[in-house]
Structure 1
């Protein structure tokens, strides 16, 4: 496989074929993210993508899932992306689901009908970074979209029949804005009603704009208990019709996995126990990106 740079994929795609169609991220301006710094966004030539699909068909013929990399590959023009999905259908007939990273920019460039066509050719799940439902926090992190646009684009994906997995970031608003960030994030998650929500705790990465702000004293990291309270508030104010909310990423202090709404009360009680000191949090040295 012709991989360029560091390849990233969601934890749930650990056993998937990783097909790199783009390099980097077309936005690449989020203050907290260092994933694609120094890497120019590009769409790889068809010949290379075709060769990688042939390689996967030869070496992983029994694979059931495939993930299209990199950062926001949904931005690939419709016909090119459709051709890639058709090749996957033809060469890898056992693939039951294709996943891809998406952002509001990529979603805004495709109609519901175009998304439905992609869905009919195997694109089954979109992974989208919400990070926060608070407009002030979104602007501060240079996310490139406000809460209303996040809701509109995510709903478009759901209307097209896509499964939707959203990530939110604990701590991204800093200590003072934390309560608003948590409340608004719960509100936006409820408005979107995704299939999956993944909560990650912010870990400051050297080389990012946010790390520079932290070093200069312009941004402060909330304490672990404050992050836990933030998680509690988000879950308390998130109403899903049957989604999975998980906070079991390596960055988090307390692993959570809950089906909402039926396990909300149990999950809030678990967090309350941790806040009261009855449950131990993950030691700092075990946390990781």
Structure 2
């Protein structure tokens, strides 16, 4: 568990459903919950919130033991539209509340992310969500929120993996008590072929994916790997039994090469992922 800046506890290992087809989402999430995941990450833009909510309702685990994150899509920025969007998200989920609601992208071309953040402040003040945060926010976006609003985001969800680490930004988040959450934590699989990871994995008799996810956990990142394969869902969760040394962490950290895979937060404005 990671304690957010308002005291809410978030499971450090989460299950992401980015690009999981809507028709497969409930099954995948139920499998993840059965394996032991208690943190599920979705977004309005993924078009699969309904499947996440159905799994949460059907799984048999008490709602208070599960942590559900979802996000505001770019096309719904603005104060009133964000309030409406959250209502619609809860309807799709079929839940009374989300545990964490994020502004998915700053979408600076629209210049409405501060208004959206103020709406999240309202939702939080009204106790309709347990925590609020942001995703893909760079230093300039966080600085503007700090100047023009009252609430510090609980989380900043970022593309983070060994070849793209955004260390200055993550350091800033930690200075401001903003938890760092890694999406695409395995570099969408592209980082796993590096010989450094293969060597460390062999030493610990685990897979390169285990090594990378363990690296994230030991750095304090919240992680949300995604898979629809039961064996891989289980493997991504099974990270006990070994610990990376300081030297091994340093050698993985040295793999940084600026290999961004996703959109640039300064320009990304797509509203719906699929």
- TM bin (shorter chain): 0.3 to 0.5
Larger RCO, structure (CA 8 Å, separation 6 or more): 2
Which structure has the larger Rg? 1
Q: TM-score, normalised by structure 1?
A: 0.43
Q: What TM-score do the two structures reach when normalised by structure 2? A: 0.45
